[in-house]
Amino acid sequence: MISVKCISKRNIYFYKTIGPYLGNRAIEKEIGYHIYDDPKQLWFFAYVDNTFAGFVTLSGNNCKVDYVLPKYRKMGVHFALAKERLKYCHGKVRITCNDASKKTMLKLGFKEVRKTYYWTWLELNVE
């Protein structure tokens, strides 16, 4: 069973849970950029059977970081995370993503705005 929680940086388990992923070079290489614990970001953690499985972030209406541990990919974890994140958005929502994240975002109704070799820019209007 997949559960998703919006976690504040003030939560005592925040750094214990996310710490191994902040500054992790292998993850940064995979997603293409550094993961920061920006004070204005909302963090969403996914759990599969009470085990940490991945996270996404949101800063304003900009979807920032999406990451699911390899063991939990293709199980609907990213979809559950992205869907929960949209509940916190209003107006035009933007995301820059790679092909792995793009499939999920298109399922949620995002439209492609621009594409380069590696990145795709998507937008969605949320009421």
pLDDT at residue 110 greater than cutoff 80? yes
What pLDDT score was predicted for residue 3? Answer: 96
The CB density around residue 32, as the number of other CB atoms within 10 Å, is: 11
Confidence of residue 70 (pLDDT cuts 50, 70, 90): very high
Higher pLDDT, 32 or 47: 47
What's the 3-state SS for the chain? CEEEEEECCCCCCHHHHHCCCCCCHHHHHHHCCCCCCCCCCEEEEEEECCEEEEEEEEECCEEEEEEECHHHCCCCHHHHHHHHHHCCCCEEEEEEECHHHHHHHHHCCCEEEEECCCCEEEEEEEC
Confidence of residue 11 (pLDDT cuts 50, 70, 90): confident
pLDDT at residue 23 greater than cutoff 90? no
Instruction: Using CB atoms within 10 Å of the CB of residue 76, give its burial: 0 to 12 exposed, 13 to 18 middle, 19+ buried.
Output: middle
Between 22-36, 39-53, 104-118, the lowest mean confidence (pLDDT) is in 22-36
Q: Could you confirm whether domain 2-89 is CATH 3.10.20.600?
A: no
What pLDDT score was predicted for residue 10? Answer: 85
What pLDDT score was predicted for residue 105? Answer: 95
What pLDDT score was predicted for residue 72? Answer: 97
- Which residue ranges make up each domain of the chain? 2-89
**Alpha carbon distance 8, 38 (integer Å):** 11
**Alpha carbon distance 44, 66 (integer Å):** 10
* Mean pLDDT score, 73-79: 96
Confidence of residue 37 (pLDDT cuts 50, 70, 90): confident
